[in-house]
Amino acid sequence: MASESPTVYIETYGCQMNVSDSELMLGRLAEYGYREVDAPDGADVILVNTCAIRDHAEQRVLGRIGELKRHMKSTTVLGVTGCMAQRLGPRLLERAKHVALVIGPDGYRALPSLIESARHGERVAKVDFDLEEHYEDFRARRVDGVSAWIPVQRGCDYRCTYCIVPTTRGPERSRALADVIRETHEIVAQGITEITLLGQTVNSYYDGTHDFADLLRAVGAVPGVRRLRFTSPHPNDFSDAVIEAMATTGAVCEHVHLPMQSGSTTTLKRMLRRYTREEYAECARRLRAAIPGLALTTDIIVGFPGETEEEFAETLTAVREIGFDDAYTFKFSAREGTPATRLPEAWTVSDEVASDRLERLIDTVREGTRAINMSMLGTRHEVLVEKLARRGTLLQTRTRHHRTVLIPGDDSMIGRYLMTELTGTTGSTFTGAVVPTRAALPLAG
């Protein structure tokens, strides 16, 4: 039927930046009359928004792209977007003949017109960077009604030697503060009260006039913003002004995700992280001094080229000494074209050794998390109800410190703030009981 609107199905891999980009793409396509569907079968357009951070992530997506062929009609346009699209460009068109479009992170403005050309049989790879592009006129299609991502910075100017992101997302650029504030008002008007600002090194935000401290204060001052988060900061960009703004802006939550990568100064040097073990610890100390009770999570890579057993042991002691609430842990993955691939071959850490270190690291992280979480039992926290938990009739909620608490309840409570007491822990997540507050009690008389 000609009058029926075309359908689009999108699958998203990788980090929050990609989730946010998918929301922008869906918003753009909705303006052009597309309707989102939640299964690929028979969709007019299928998009796979990809990640290139580790080889494993890419292999998974390549497998999935192959699989999606079965779900396509003869007229379906299959597009690959995101970081892997940017990295492989035309190579992806050669490799998978059923892929019609390959579009990098700065090319989404052209999506509707490229889909049109693809309908007429063209196959296109669009992978140029556009340093002006922030998609200001796009209206992101947010599906989560409780929490919103706001990209405030695109690209990255650091050059960590293991990392593909500067290649896939281009140079760093920040949105104008006024644009971020406009979007914040729009989000709050939709009833969303929690906002997470996004950027690869988000605290290096600078729009030519305002820095990250200004941004935190301005977003935090928008009426209706009850919780303000950001990810991921770089330790070197935590100026005193930024920490001060965090401590004095009521909406800023008491949680920082601060990637450490390694606890060994010599490994950090080969990674070009631009800080020492001591400087990282000092950054954590400054944050905790300014924000009492701050929860700290991190990212750690094991098996970086040249990592000795002694250097790895320093990562374990750093994890213990700093006391992280949690950590994402990864085995080093060599990415084509990154400086780490040019280190001496002999420095390669075997997969066996890397796997063993990963296991030991995970054990150490878990021990720390469990100890912190056990000590929290019996304490009371305000939680925001996010969604139904996978298990039975429980709700998934979150504290300001980003801890997950499962409580009994039903979906009418989603989006509400409640006071809970932590009653149990699996070691990583909590169960809680709702504590009646004055406002929640029935009125007397």
Which of 76, 201, 298, 399 contacts ligand SF4 by CB under 6 A?
A: 201
Selection from ligand F3S, ligand SF4, ligand SAH, none that 332 binds (CB < 5 to 8 A by kind) is ligand SAH
Residue 278-307 contact track with ligand SAH, rule CB under 6 A, x = bound? ---------------------x-x------
Q: Residue type for 289, please?
A: A
Which residues contact residue 267 at a Cβ distance below 8 angstroms, ignoring those fewer than 6 apart? 304, 306, 307, 311, 314, 315
Rounded-to-integer distance, Cα 156 and Cα 256, Å = 19
Instruction: Name the one range near ligand SF4 by CB under 6 A: 23-31, 88-96, 159-167, 395-403.
Output: 159-167
Report the site for ligand SAH in 44-73 (rule: CB under 6 A): 53-54
Which residues contact residue 27 at a Cβ distance below 8 angstroms, ignoring those fewer than 6 apart? 138, 139, 140, 141
CA atoms within 13 A on the CB side of 194: 21
Instruction: Name the one range near ligand SF4 by CB under 6 A: 38-46, 70-78, 156-164, 378-386.
Output: 156-164
Query: Angle between the 16-31 and 111-119 helix axes, to the nearest 10 degrees?
Result: 70
CA atoms within 13 A on the CB side of 181: 15
* Residue 119 vs 286, nearer CB to ligand SAH: 286
Which residues contact residue 365 at a Cβ distance below 8 angstroms, ignoring those fewer than 6 apart? 300, 319, 324, 326, 327, 329
Residue 214-253 contact track with ligand SAH, rule CB under 6 A, x = bound? ------------------x-x-------------------
Query: Where do runs of H (alpha helix) occur along 306-433?
Result: 309-322, 351-376
Selection from ligand SAH, ligand F3S, ligand SF4, none that 83 binds (CB < 5 to 8 A by kind) is ligand F3S
Closest CA to 381 of 428, 437, 323, 298: 437
Q: Is 420 in the site for ligand SF4 (CB under 6 A)?
A: no
Which of 169, 229, 357, 403 contacts ligand F3S by CB under 6 A?
A: 169
The 10 Å CB-count burial string (b at 16+, else e) for 296-322 is bbbebbbbbbbbeeebbebbbebbeeb
Selection from ligand SAH, ligand F3S, ligand SF4, none that 214 binds (CB < 5 to 8 A by kind) is none
SS3 387: strand
Neighbour tally for 438: CB within 10 Å: 5
Q: Is 156 in the site for ligand SF4 (CB under 6 A)?
A: yes
Q: Is 257 in the site for ligand F3S (CB under 6 A)?
A: no
Least distance from C-beta 285 to ligand SF4, angstroms? 21
Parallel, antiparallel, or unpaired for β 194-198 and 147-151?
A: parallel
Least distance from C-beta 363 to ligand SF4, angstroms? 25
By beta carbon distance, the residue nearest ligand SAH is 299
Beta carbons of 282 and 320 less than 8 angstroms apart: no
CA 164 from centroid of its chain's CA atoms: 16
Rounded-to-integer distance, Cα 86 and Cα 108, Å = 12
Which of 147, 168, 333, 369 contacts ligand F3S by CB under 6 A?
A: 168
Q: Is 300 in the site for ligand SF4 (CB under 6 A)?
A: no
Selection from ligand SF4, ligand SAH, ligand F3S, none that 18 binds (CB < 5 to 8 A by kind) is ligand F3S
Report the site for ligand SAH in 311-340 (rule: CB under 6 A): 330, 332-333, 335
* Residue 179 vs 299, nearer CB to ligand SAH: 299
Beta carbons of 303 and 349 less than 8 angstroms apart: yes
Beta carbons of 79 and 22 less than 8 angstroms apart: no
Least distance from C-beta 173 to ligand SF4, angstroms? 13
Report the site for ligand F3S in 63-102 (rule: CB under 6 A): 82-83
Binding site for ligand SAH (CB under 6 A): 53-54, 162-163, 165, 200-201, 232, 234, 259, 261, 299, 301, 330, 332-333, 335
Binding site for ligand F3S (CB under 6 A): 14-15, 17-18, 51-53, 82-83, 164-165, 168-169
